[in-house]
Structure 1
C-alpha cells in the first residue's frame, strides 16, 4: 500500500459500480500553512498506481477513480473538477491546460490552451497613448479573458483513453460543491491577500463575509452554482459550457466588465477546438524527456538549460551541505539566461510563428547548444547581456519580447495500473484569474472564475519596428511556460517519471532542476522536490528565502550576479518508477499537495 497522510474517514468505499457511487467526504485536518510556507512531507511509495495533485481532496478523487478501475485520464478529469472547487485561484473550467499522455506505446500532447477572441488586435493592452497598460489593470478586466480550453481538452483525451463514463467523473466535485468542504489554509491565505476579487459581486459573496473578511481556514464552503454547472456538463459534455445559457452568461460578464470590457463572443466559444500536437521528445543521456511543444516554451527552454549544462565541465559535487553549490548554480543560472534569451525571441503559437529553420528541434541541436555553452565563463556572469542565438534561418525577423509577469497554475501527475501515464499542467493564469466569476446564469451562489490568460501575450506588439512573436493576434494561443513532462529510458523505452509544477516562468527552472536532481544526484522524488530554488529570467537572480548559506550568496555576487532572496513557491508533483518497478511519489512541501495510490 502507498503511504498516505492520515485523513481519518476521508476516503469513501468503492464496492459499488462508478455509476452508483455517491461520493461522500469528511474533510481532512490540514496543518495551517501560508502559500509560501514549507511543510515537510514523507514521500510515498506504491506498487500499482498513484496520483499526485495539489490538494488532498483532489488527490483523493483521482485515487478513488483509479480504485474503481478508471484510467489515468478518468482520474485526471475527476482531479481537475475538484481542483476547480478547492483550489479556484489556480485552475478550473474557466481556464486552459496542456496534457501529456502515454498509453504504453505512444506519447500524445493535447493542447487545451486558451485562444484570443476574434475581435482583438495587437493593441489590446495598449492605452490611448499607445503605451502598455499597467499589468494589473489588464489582468483584472474583461480584456484578459481568453476562450477557455480545459473542458474541451479533457473531453478529447477522455474520448480516446477513458474507461469510465464521463458523467461519473464529476461526482466527487459535485458532492463537495453541494455538501461543502473545509477551506484549506492556502485558499484562506490567497483570499486574504487578494486585492481585486471583492470587486466581483459573485466572488465577494462566496469568499468573503458581509463585513469583508475572507473565508477562514477550516470553514465549510459550498458552491451550489458550480455544482449545478458541473452536473449539466457531466450530462451534456463540454458543449454545455460553450453553447447555451452558460456560454451566454460567460460572454455577458466579459463584455460588461465595468472598467475594461472584453471582446469575447459566443462565436469565439462555439468555434473553440482543443488540438493534438506532436510532442517534443529529446534525448538526454540515458533518458528521453518528452514535453509540450509551442505554444508552450517549457520543454524547449528546460532542455536548452539542461543541454547547455551537459556541454559544460561537470561539477564534481553539485550538492554542498544539501543545497546546490555556487559553482553549479552559476552554470545553471548562466544557462538559464541564454535559454530565456532564445525563448523571448522565438517561441510563440506555432500556427502563427515559424520555428527557426522550420523545426523547433533546431533550438536543441547539440552543435547549437555547444556554441551557447561556449559563451559561459567560469567566474563572470553575463548578467543582463545574454543575447538570443541563431538556431536556424527565419523568414521573419522577430524582436525580443520585453519582460512582464507570469503567474499561476497547478500540476497533476497520474500513473494507472495498466501503465498509462498523465502529466497535466492546468491554469487560469494569475491567482483568481481575471477576477470575473460566472454562475452560468443559474442565479445560485458561487460559480467559477474566468482566466486572464491573454496577459501571457506580449503587451508590446513590436520593438524598434520589428514584431514580437508572442504579440496578440485573433485566434492565437499565448505563449506558456507550463511544462508537463514524461520521462523514459532511452534503451528500453520504459516510463521513468511524470512530473511538472506551477510557478509562471519559474516553472522552467523548477522542472529543470528536478530533472537534474533525479538523473544526476541520486535523489528520490520527494528529496528532489525539497531542494531549494534558484531562478533568473535574464536579469536579477532570486534564491529561495533562507535556504542557502550566506557564502553561496556572496560567491554568486562575486561572479557578478545581482542576488536577492524571496519566497519561490513552486508546486511540484512527481511520480518516479524505481528500478524494481515500484513507484515513488513526491509532493512539493511548499504547497498542500499529496500523493495517494496502491
Structure 2
C-alpha cells in the first residue's frame, strides 16, 4: 500500500441496531478529528464504490447503505440525514441543496434550493432605506426561506432509489436516539457563535445554564429530530411540508422576537423541487458538468478555467507544494473578471433571462478569450468590470459584495457506476439561529436556514434593478458547485467533487480541477494544496501555507494580500486509469472516505 493511500477503513465498535426496516445498520463509535488547522490525510483506495462526506458517522451511514445494496441516491439520503444530526451548523432538512446525478447514461440536476416567501419584497433587508447589518439580518425570521432538501431528495429517490425510503433514515434515527460523541468542530462552532444562545430551544439544547457549549466527546441525543425523521421515513416528505412540522417552522419564524419573517404555511405546502438542465462544458480532454442558475458555481468556475487556458504560464505551477506566484496571479485576475460577470448577470432563471437568452454564452471561447486579454502583468484590483456576453432585455446593476458562508458536500460513486455530487446548506453556521422541534415538544430539533441573505440586500443601484434582488417565490443565487467530470472521448466518469465555503467554493473547486487535470495530482493531493481567493478586492491566502517569497511576488504585482484561515470542506472521488477509485477528504475538516 502506497504511503499516499489507505484502504477504506474506520475503527468501529459495533452496537445493536435500534431500527432495521430492511438492512441492519450498526452504529460505529467514531470520534471525528479536529476541524481546524491542517491534518494530513492519506487518500483512500477502493475497487468498486466510495462515499466521501464531511463527518465519519455520515460517511459510514452511506457506506452501510451501499453495502446493503443501495445506490448512490440512497446513500446520499442516509448521509444527509446523519449530517443534519452530527454537523447541524452546516446543512440539514431546514435548508436546501443542489444534487448532480449520473445514472450511467444521463446527468440530471435536482434543484432543492430554498425559495422566498410570497410575503417578501425587495426591501426585505432595508430599515429606514438602509441595509441591515449582515449578522442581524441573518439571525432573524427575515432570513428564512422555504426549505427544499427533503422534497428534492424525495423526488430524486422516487426516480432513482433502490432501497425503500424509510430504510434510509435508520442510521440517523439510531444515532439520534442512542446519541453520538460531540466532535471538536461542533463544540468549537457552538462556543464561538454569539447568536445561537439567543434562541430559547437552542440555548437549552446545546448549552448549559452557564452558557457553556456541550463538551467534546459528550454524548448528544436528539429526540425531537429522531421523531421528525420517523415521521418523514414513514410518510415521505409530506410529513415535513404539511402538518405539525410545517406549522412549527412557521410559528417560530413569524414569532421571532426581534425581526419576524413572513414565511407562511402556504409557502411550505407549495414548495416544489425542480429539474434543471445541467451545464456540461468541454474543457480540453474533459467535460465538466455542473449546476446551472440559480447556482453561479459552474458558470463562474468555468469562466475562470476558460480564461486560464488562454494564458501562457511562464514558470512551474507548483513551488514547494504551493501554486506559484505567476499561476496565482493569473488565477486571481481571472476570478476578478468572472466574479464581475457573476455579480451582474446570474440569478434565478425563472426571474432573470440569461445574457443573449443562453447561459452558455458566458462560456463561449471567443468571449473568454477577450476577457482573458484583460489579464496583465499587474493586478486590476477592485476595478474589474463585467463583460458583454450577450444582449440583455433588462439593464442590470452589479450587486454589491456581501458575505456568504456555510455548507457541506457529499460525493458518492456506487458499484454500478452511478454518481452523486451534492452540495447542501443552511447558509451561515447554524443558519438563522432558529431551532425547530417540529412541534414534537421534545428536546433538540433542526435548524432553519438563513438562505434569503444570499439575495442582494439592495434591490437596485442607481435606478437599475439588481438581478439577484429579493422577489416572492424566487430562489437566491448560490455559489454551490457540485461537479461531475467525464472523459470527452470515452464518456466515462472521471470524478465527483465539490466543497462548502460560501463564495470561495468557486475558487476551491476551480483550483482542484486544475490540480487534477493539469498538474497530475490525485484527489487527496489536489485537496491538500493551499488556498488563495479574491471576491474582487483584497486577496486572502491560507495562513502559514505559502512561502513568503510567493506572497511578496503577489504584492509586487499590485495585489493586497492578507493571511487567514480558509476552511474549505472539499470532497472528491476520482476514477483511476485502471478503473478503481481514489477518494480524498479535506484535511481542514473532519471528513473521511469509505468504500470497497
Smaller-chain TM-score range?
A: over 0.9
Structure 2 CA distance for partners of 1:481 and 1:182, relative to 1, 3 Å: same
How many angstroms does 1:29 deviate by? 3.1
Q: Distance in 2 between matches of 1:316 and 1:490?
A: 28
Cα displacement (A) at 1:26:
3.7
Q: SS of the counterpart of 1:523? A: coil
Counterpart in the other structure of 1:149: 148
* Equivalent residues of 1:11, 1:60 under 8 A apart: no
Contact 1:145 1:454 in 2 (8 A): yes
Deviations 1:421-469 (A, max 9, x none): 0000000000000000110111100000000000000001100000000
Change (3 A) 1:156 1:560: same
Hey, what's the Cα distance between the residues in 1 that align with 2:319 and 2:406? 31
2:110 equivalent in structure 1: 110
Residue 13 of structure 2 corresponds to residue 9 of structure 1? yes
> 1:3 offset after TM fit, Å?
1.6
Helix, strand or coil at the partner of 2:117: coil
Cross-structure match for 2:501: 503
Question: What does residue 239 of structure 2 align with?
Answer: 240
Q: SS where residue 267 of structure 1 aligns?
A: helix
Q: Unaligned stretches of 5+ in structure 2?
A: none
2:315–2:324 Cα contact (<8 Å) kept: no
Give the aligned partner of residue 384 of structure 1: 382
CA deviation map 1:281-320 (0-9, x unaligned): 0000000000000000000000000000001113441001
Pair 316,554 (structure 1): closer, same or farther in 2 beyond 3 Å: closer
Report the more deviating stretch, 314-323 or 210-219.
314-323
Instruction: Provide the C-alpha distance between the structure 2 equivalents of 1:548 and 1:419, rounded to a whole number of angstroms.
Output: 38
Distance of 1:77 and 1:20 partners within structure 2: 15
The CA deviation string for residues 524-564 of structure 1, in whole angstroms up to 9 with x for no partner, is: 00000000000000000000000001111110000000000
**1:28 aligns with one of 27, 30, 38:** 30
CA distance, structure 1, for counterparts of residue 189 and residue 327 of structure 2 = 34
Q: Distance in 2 between matches of 1:279 and 1:317?
A: 34
Instruction: State whether residues 98 and 109 of structure 1, in contact with CA within 8 Å, keep that contact through their aligned partners in structure 2.
Output: yes
Match of 1:477 in 2: 475
Q: CA deviation at 1:17?
A: 12
Partner residue of 2:89?
89
SS in 1 for 2:292: coil
Q: In the alignment, what sits opposite 2:589?
A: 591
For the 8 Å contact 1:36–1:568, the answer to whether it is kept is no
Judge conservation of contact 2:31–2:183 (CA < 8 Å) in 1: no
Worse-superposed segment, 223-232 or 1-10: 1-10
1:569-580 map, 5 Å? 569-580=567-578
- Does structure 1 residue 519 correspond to structure 2 residue 511? no
- Measure how far apart 1:7 and its partner are: 1.8
Q: Summarize deviations over 1:473-493 as a string: whole Å, max 9, x none.
A: 000000000000000000110
In structure 1, distance between residues paired with 2:8 and 2:219:
24
Q: CA deviation at 1:18?
A: 6.0
Aligned to 2:336: 337
* Alpha-carbon contact 1:51-1:63 (below 8 Å) kept: yes
CA distance in 2, matches of 1:320, 1:136: 39
Q: Secondary structure at the match of 2:567?
A: coil
Matched, 1:464 2:468: no
For 1:22-171, list aligned pairs within 5 A: 22-31=24-33, 33=34, 35-127=35-127, 129-171=128-170
Please state how far the C-alpha of 1:272 moved relative to its aligned partner. 0.4
Distance in 1, Cα, partners of 2:109 & 2:246 = 27
The aligned residue for residue 309 of structure 1 is 308
Superposition pairs for residues 126-525 of structure 1, below 5 Å?
Answer: 126-127=126-127, 129-377=128-376, 379-525=377-523
The 1-side partners of 2:22 and 2:413 are apart by 25
CA contact (8 A) 2:345 2:354 kept: yes
Structure 1 distance, partners of 2:294, 2:244, is 31
Counterpart-to-counterpart distance in 1, 2:494 and 2:393: 39
Q: Higher mean Cα deviation, 192-201 or 496-505?
A: 192-201
Secondary structure of the structure 2 residue equivalent to 1:45: strand
Shift of 1:9: 2.2
Secondary structure at 1:441's aligned position in 2? coil
Query: Given the superposition, is the C-alpha separation of residues 351 and 268 from structure 1 closer, same or farther in structure 2, using an over 3 Å criterion?
Result: same
Whether the 8 Å CA contact 2:307–2:371 is kept in 1: the answer is yes
Task: Tell me the SS of whatever aligns to 1:19.
Answer: coil
Structure 1 position 390, deviation (Å): 0.1
Q: How far is the alpha carbon of 1:52 from its aligned partner? A: 0.3
For 1:19 and 1:594, how far apart are their aligned partners in 2?
Answer: 27
Give 1:561's match in structure 2, choosing from 559, 562, 580.
559
- What is the alpha-carbon distance in structure 2 between the residues aligned to residue 256 and residue 145 of structure 1? 12
Contact 2:32/2:55, CA 8 A, preserved across alignment: no
Give the whole-Å Cα distance in 1 for the aligned partners of 2:196 and 2:408.
20
For residue 8 of structure 1, report the CA deviation from its aligned partner: 3.1
Count the aligned residue pairs.
592
Give the Cα separation in 1 of the matches to 2:36 and 2:132.
Answer: 28
Alpha carbons 1:19, 1:168 under 8 Å: kept: yes
Shift of 1:190: 0.4
Given candidates 542, 545, 568, the residue that maps to 1:544 is 542
**Structure 1 residue 27: Cα displacement:** 2.1
- Displacement of 1:37 in angstroms is 1.9
How far apart, in 2, do the equivalents of 1:422 and 1:324 lie?
29
> Cα deviations across residues 23-46 of structure 1 (Å, max 9, x unaligned)?
342421334x2x432111110000
TM-score, normalised to structure 2's length? 0.98
* Root-mean-square deviation (Å): 1.4
Cα deviations by residue, 1:217-261 (Å, 9 ceiling, x for unpaired): 100000000000000000000011111111111100000000000
Q: CA deviation at 1:210?
A: 1.7
Question: Which structure 1 residue ranges, 5 or more long, are not aligned?
Answer: none
- TM-score when normalising by structure 1: 0.97
Any idea what SS the aligned residue of 2:574 has? strand
